[in-house]
Chains A and B, each alone.
Chain A
């Protein structure tokens, strides 16, 4: 398989097509337009591939809902404000137990914000995002290669659990170019009985989220809840970097994790024993992994490009068992490894 140099946004598109995505609906929004344009160019390459530039983000997610129910691997993409618009649709996908992949290339916020990379949508992505008791699986790539791999995994996870899956990256990851190798994913295995394509010679069925009877609605909610428990027990992913002898552990994901690795290398040169825990699934969150480290380490530094969102999950995981500090730059600022290294040094001295 060839390694090629390719831009992050386009890599997501290529990975999706290779994973069998046959329906894409999107709307232009910076900084992910290259993905939408890539799908416009390339969906027709795939047999039966459909590309629609929808009239709005809302229309796009609803087209994805229809396409998914009709049996296609379906995807939409956007950036922060557009993802806000899609929340009712995502809640509906979860309620209907329909697979779909939603890509969020985060930008500065809140509101219109700006077009620079940030990590301000962590709460939105990991707390359901829309109304009601549901979760989406959230995958956080930290390299262009991971954009490819996790996009392919996203379709497989969405099918396996019949749930929407969010790929949470950011503007920088979408714009940067790195070498990438595309795997060949296995062909789709999705039971026909979940696909709505006309009753044929069988019985008619319907897919709906409205359940007027409270007891039956409660049952449905607990059923979804049990599914999320299964996902939480099986699908946690994370990476650890130089944690064996660490006395300070940084917790960071995505672009922040890359910056953290640079900061850690600098800090290590100065003899500071610092390591990194990098969640790859933000939901389910690798709480148990972080808790396990707290047995040995009592100094955690959460580093995000926001004002403190994953921080709360780390606090939930650790409680009072360790000291938790936070360093964050919201608004589209891209922190530097040197800057973070200074923070680490200060953390270490404070101890």
Chain B
């Protein structure tokens, strides 16, 4: 199953909860900082996402939108 996510970096507070639930370890803090001083989480370039939405489920900030085929 193919999927992807969109993260609104301005909402991210780098709590890292999403990184602990992604089974494929697709998520990591970006190098850049957002306007609040956090490294917003980003999807790795080679990520294989199946749209399971566990990251969005745990994200406290509702920063993640999930897409699935």
A and B touch in the complex (CB under 8 A): no
Chain A residues with a Cβ under 8 A of chain B = none
